[in-house]
Amino acid sequence: MPDIYFAPHPKEDRKDFNLFKGLTIIVVDDKEDILVLITYILKSYGIEVLTASSASAAFEIIQQSRVDLLISDIAMPGEDGYSLIQKLRSLTPSPIREIPAIAFTGCAEEQAHEKALAFGFQTCINKPSSEEELITEIAKLLKSFHRSSSLLFSDYSLLEKEKVA
């Protein structure tokens, strides 16, 4: 069973989300099903998605590609998400060290959220999560990092889930 749940919407419902076109997000998780699911969700909003199944692979990709946002699992075998964000934040002056980042974790404890923020993530989302929560957090985070950009919006009402009777 996947760790994120969503109700697919017809593409027509997402035509307003071409606001995300041109954005590149890297998703890091050691679980292939999570990478596939999040990729599907983000691409349906017009976002270009890069994926990595380890922190070291993600670090290499980030150094070679333009990335607007990082979404990283915390608990991965070997090098974890905390290590990845520390490496990024410790780079000498570089745009890479400023990439906004979301910790995506299965640990719902308050300490996990505080630890993620202390290590350099801007926000933390629990697994399981909803599509709306994920997209809303991405929009909020990118908006705060690109205040002068007209790409992002402040009205998140479009992200509300349709009520199913």
pLDDT digits (tens, 9 = 90+) for 74-114: 999 999 999 999 999 998 878 888 999 999 988 877 788 89
Q: Side-chain half-sphere of 64: how many Cα atoms within 13 Å?
A: 7
Q: How far is CA 109 from CA 24, 34, 113, 143, in A?
A: 30, 21, 7, 27
CB burial string 113-145: b at 16+ within 10 A, e below: bebbeebbbbbbbbbebebebbbbbbbbbbeee
The pTM of the whole model exceeds 0.85:
no
> Cα(37)–Cα(102) distance, rounded to whole angstroms?
17
Q: What are phi and psi of 23, to 5 degrees?
A: -85, 145
Summarize pLDDT for 5-61 with one digit per residue, the tens: 444 444 445 545 556 878 999 999 999 999 999 999 999 999 999 999 999 999 999
Show the domains of the chain with their CATH numbers: 20-147 (3.40.50.2300)
Which residue has 């996990």 as its token pair? Answer: 112
Peptide bond just before 128 cis, omega within 30 deg: yes
